[in-house]
A and B are shown apart, each in its own frame.
Chain A
């Protein structure tokens, strides 16, 4: 028998009204605009775009506002929104080598062509809170340096010329590009699907796993070969036109991790690689992604799988924060009947326990 218990409509309605009120907060404080969120909380917007897996800054800003700044709630909102839209197609792969670079650093080569471009970075700041920011003080315009545009080759290509490092990853001929938004994941995965999952994976989860590899759980001795942030052009082939159409530009962060070598009787030793590519400006996420990508290549590279970060099923099944929060938070929902059943069970077990005890006692007497 199933008995539905109804009720709570009024409570829910009022709870949502209260939520709207608390979200707005003190009415004497001006409401925050989406443009303010996009401009001044840009990295929060970027994180929502990356893990929401939807590039649209204004929508991400709306989600941040609606979620009261709760990032995972905002990511959830964006994921829900995307299911309402039709898919027009798959773009041509973006060419990060053609990126309009806003930051580009290498921890492996000091004097690389194109130079070390620090861009707008938190690095080297003193991490002291700035009381001036509490006021709306005027901010200086950035300095400029006009110079001939220099080519910025990828560090992996520089190393690649000598065969010192493995090539960019290629999938076996004829393999279809996996899409986890279309097909449920079945393990083991190919690297393309892993990268798709990692690109939308939770930054904190991947950061923790990446850190674990540095601490010795699947150590791979990584170097940040190159990190670049900037805009790339997005192109789409459409039926009505006979050339790929430029849709605009998106900002990406790319990390090329250079890791310890691998060789065989056939192949001389060379550096291996992990790759990170993330929507928006997110160095920490792209580095974490690259470290996890490298760890998850254990099977392919013939390494012993000994650590959590190498366990594909473990990492990929738990990296999605919308899935994770859904299952963890569902525990809040009424489990009255389930719990009643368990309560009965425990009572019965305790009864049996009592019986056994008294039987033993009787036997002893």
Chain B
């Protein structure tokens, strides 16, 4: 599967054997995790490192931009809440996280997993135990929505009226 699909973080069958899954994709998945998921993964994580919070978690706004006509010049559509955090692990690895919404706990844990992911010794474990389940859930939910939408597709047919 191509990395461009992975980068959307939404492809149904994300293959996480690939430890070369880029940091962008990894962070995209963490941003779309739920607080509950990350809490669970953190509880299950063995040998938890020391975590120092360098920034936040703090909630602010981003101005979401659209494009005139859908593909033209940018315009400001409206704002969205975003929460961000930066953490440092005991061994010095620094992790960042940004996600829509106001969940401080989720974003702090996302930053912790981002820091862990950057350490080669932990990358595979983060991919297997954290990113893979998130990708699986997102993929399944996407497939379900697609199938539900597809069921509402109009199949036009022609009706012959009268007989000439």
Contacts and interface: CB of A to CB of B under 8 A. Distances in A.
B9 interface: yes
Contacts of A168: 67-72
Contacts of A252: 66
A152 to B, nearest CB: 10
A47 to B, nearest CB: 13
B122 interface: no
Interface string B1-24: 000000111100000000000011
B78 A54 contact: yes
B134 interface: no
A220 B88 CA distance: 59
A283 to B, nearest CB: 15
Contacts of A56: 80-81, 101-102
A138 B104 CA distance: 35
B73 A170 contact: yes
A60 B149 CA distance: 26
Contacts of A147: 150
A256 B98 contact: no
B38 to A, nearest CB: 14
A145 B147 contact: yes
Interface string A54-73: 11101100000000000000
Interface in A209-253: 233-234, 236, 238, 240-241, 243-250, 252
Interface centre among B66, B70, B71, B146 (most CB of A within 10 A): B70
Interface in A151-179: 154, 156-157, 167-171, 175, 177-179
A54 B153 contact: no
Interface stretch (B42-50, B57-65, B123-131): B57-65
Contacts of A181: 63, 76, 79
Interface string B67-109: 1111111111111111010100000000010111110000000
Contacts of B27: 245-246
A146 B150 contact: yes
Nearest to A55: B80
Contacts of A256: 69-70
B112 to A, nearest CB: 16
B32 interface: yes
Interface stretch (A31-39, A194-202, A356-364): A194-202
Interface stretch (A94-102, A260-268, A312-320, A327-335): A94-102
B153 A142 contact: no
Contacts of A236: 62, 82, 98
Interface stretch (A17-25, A110-118, A343-351): A110-118
A284 interface: no
State which size class the interface on A falls in: 35 or more
A93 B66 contact: yes
Contact of B9 (A92, A115, A145, A246): A246
Contacts of B149: 101-103, 117, 119
Contact of A145 (B86, B145, B153): B153
A35 B31 CA distance: 21
B121 interface: no
A203 interface: no
B24 A245 contact: yes
A196 B77 contact: yes
B9 A234 contact: no
B70 A248 contact: no
Contacts of B28: 233, 245-246
Contact of B99 (A100, A101, A248): A248
A69 B73 CA distance: 36
19 contacts: A82-B79, A86-B60, A88-B82, A92-B65, A94-B66, A95-B67, A96-B67, A119-B152, A144-B148, A147-B150, A170-B72, A192-B74, A195-B66, A195-B68, A233-B8, A246-B32, A256-B70, A273-B69, A277-B66
Interface of A: 49-50, 53-56, 58-59, 82, 85-98, 100-103, 110-111, 115-120, 142-147, 149, 154, 156-157, 167-171, 175, 177-181, 191-193, 195-196, 199-200, 233-234, 236, 238, 240-241, 243-250, 252, 254, 256, 273, 275, 277, 279
- The 6 A-B residue pairs whose C-beta atoms are closest, nearest first, are A168-B69, A168-B72, A246-B28, A169-B68, A248-B100, A144-B147
Interface of B: 7-10, 23-24, 27-28, 31-32, 58-82, 84, 86, 96, 98-102, 142, 144-154, 156
